[in-house]
Structure 1
Amino acid sequence: MELTVGPNQFFWKAEDWTAFYDELAAAPVDRVSLGELVCSKRMPFYQDRIPAALETLANAGKSVAITSLALVTLKRERVATHALAEMGVEVEVNDLTALAHIPADMPFSVGPLVNVYNEGTLKWLADRGATRICLPPELPLESVKALCDAAKDKDLTIEVWGHGRLPLAISGRCYHARMHGRTKDNCQFACEDDPDGLQVNTTDGQPFLTMNGVQTLSQTHASAAYQLEALREAGVGALRLSPQSVGFTQIIDAYRARLDGTLTADGLTDAIRAAAPGCSLSDGFLDGDRGVDWSGKAA
């Protein structure tokens, strides 16, 4: 099973962004998707660094892809989406409007924000040119298996969410800007102050969600630590890890060891908590009654 890294969902300083991908070049991952997924206003801060990062990763033997935005609403965003197909690397589609800008004979991959919930959607995307699909993280194991079965006849690689805060929703409004009394057009990039998102509590003080500019994320970090054998048996070809600012290279090493059979699920859980103290875990979408449920070791 491959180990992949998905696009960074957060807004980091350009120097931190570059250093992160330089470190990934030496990490035991097979594939990296990068670029701006959440908010196009962030792109000018690091856009000129993307070609160098792609080259560094490719020279290190990684398969690379460039992500599309999750929500395209403005003309400049349509122009930027059109330009992705001209970069000479695979495009990961996270909004189906991006397909209008990808030539019919150009292979592409599909990210987890596209709702691939059934065999019909999967086969349609494969016929359109998709070679890899990262399934939405809210699918249960039974659905993952059914889609893996459908993918066999289409020569598709099926990827599942392996670690990280789950992307739940994208909005036209910016939560960070609103919290600071600003408009979206004058947000002053408040999300930069929260490199892993800002925790949202209920009215009685219980952790509930995480906000990241226009994006809503889970408060917990989903982890497939205890489902890897079941996912491999189902036919899953790749496990996706989502970037975070604390302890990510150590987390990659731990997942690699787990995939290689040299680390147990309990050992992986301990390694995640050692690398990112205070990190709460969940796997309920894969195997539970609620997404927030956790089947592994208690904190």
Structure 2
Amino acid sequence: MTTLLTLGPLLYHWPAEAWRDFYFRIADEAPVASVCMGEVVCPKRAPFTFPLYEEVIERLQAAGKEVVLSTPALITDHRDLALVKDAVELGAGLVEANDVAALPLLTGKPHVIGPYINVYNESTLARMAADGAVRVTLPAELPAASIGKLAEQDSAAIGMPEIGMPMIEIQVFGRWPLAISARCYHARAYERSKDGCLYACGEDPDGLPVETLDDEPFLVVNGVQTQSASYGCLLNELDLLKACGVRRFRLSPQTIGMIEVARLFRDRLDGRIDREEASVALRQLAGHTALSNGFFHGREGAQFV
């Protein structure tokens, strides 16, 4: 079974040049088939990187990568929706919807459903297929049994033989996305208002750690987004996912060496490295950041089983 790696969108507010150079390196060095780019967390950040889209897309496509344009996870007004329209009009590749408000602009066109839209059952998957979704990245909190049920679905099983079902994609590395809010806790942590944030999120290129009163890692704040403190990691579960029929695997960018992470997952998927050796190598790359896979095993998400 052919397996493919996707690099999810960069969720943090990096300097524009660093953002561009990161994608240039991905184009030249990372063994990923698809690359998502676009502002998912805060539309206020979009003007910093949008002028660089053309050269980044050209570099990625020249390297044989599929480009997916990701759109905001929270659409609250016409300005946010304008980012979806811009992605559609750019025509550079598939557009990824992360808020149901984007779907009317994509219905009838091939598109991708991101992990911020709740796809929990077969009926929802069928509806997405009917509207043109060709790929669905399932929410991070789904356990193995639910992933298996959705991955095994085909058009005949739900009485829709005329429609091909979307390909299931699973995030297998990177902080779990937990919540998105209209409030910006990142700005508040720096004693700024949301409107006057001065892009506080740019101070923390891998997110702002939040600890408990006992000084234990708890969450990470990224602008208006809340993430896990740990790096989600399903490296040990790749064989189980493949057995379920999953063929696409998503890596969410962090400040660690993502080229090395991509190579590690590619080698593991291809059987060039065993599970134990891969786990040791990934823990070294993650440094002091814990790994977690609890959601997959029906446990608390922060746990590592």
TM-score, normalised to structure 2, is 0.94
- Equivalent position of 1:94 in the other structure: 98
Computed over aligned residues only, the root mean square deviation of the Cα atoms, in angstroms, reads: 1.2
Q: Write out aligned runs for 1:118-137 (5 A).
A: 118-137=121-140
For residue 150 of structure 1, give the secondary structure of its aligned residue in structure 2. coil
CA contact (8 A) 1:123 1:151 kept: no
Q: CA deviation at 1:45?
A: 1.1
Partner letter of residue 43 of structure 1?
A
Q: Which residue among 275, 279, 302 is the counterpart of 1:269?
A: 279
Q: Write out aligned runs for 1:71-86 (5 A).
A: 71-86=74-89
For residue 209 of structure 1, give the secondary structure of its aligned residue in structure 2. strand
Give the fraction of aligned pairs with identical amino acids, expressed as a percent: 42
CA contact (8 A) 1:29 1:252 kept: yes
CA contact (8 A) 1:7 1:67 kept: yes
Partner letter of residue 87 of structure 1?
L
CA contact (8 A) 1:133 1:157 kept: yes
- Equivalent position of 1:221 in the other structure: 231
Q: Which residue among 164, 185, 189 is the counterpart of 1:179?
A: 189
Q: Write out aligned runs for 1:272-291 (5 A).
A: 272-291=282-301
CA contact (8 A) 1:151 1:157 kept: no
Q: CA deviation at 1:152?
A: 5.6
For residue 168 of structure 2, give the secondary structure of its aligned residue in structure 1. strand
Q: Does 1:249 align with 2:259?
A: yes
Q: Which residue among 50, 53, 58 is the counterpart of 2:53?
A: 50
CA distance in 1, matches of 2:233, 2:189: 30
CA contact (8 A) 1:248 1:275 kept: no
CA contact (8 A) 2:144 2:298 kept: no
Runs of at least 5 residues in structure 2 that lack an aligned partner in the other structure: 157-163
For residue 89 of structure 2, give the secondary structure of its aligned residue in structure 1. coil
Q: Does 1:115 align with 2:125?
A: no
Q: Does 1:142 align with 2:135?
A: no
Q: CA deviation at 1:265?
A: 2.0
Q: Does 1:232 align with 2:257?
A: no
- Equivalent position of 1:166 in the other structure: 176
| Deviation by residue 1:155-188 (Cα, 9 ceiling, x = unmatched) | 4211001100000000001111111111100000
The total of aligned residue pairs comes to 294
TM-score, normalised to structure 1, is 0.95
For residue 90 of structure 2, give the secondary structure of its aligned residue in structure 1. coil
CA contact (8 A) 1:148 1:235 kept: yes
For residue 69 of structure 1, give the secondary structure of its aligned residue in structure 2. coil
Partner letter of residue 54 of structure 1?
I
Q: CA deviation at 1:151?
A: 4.1
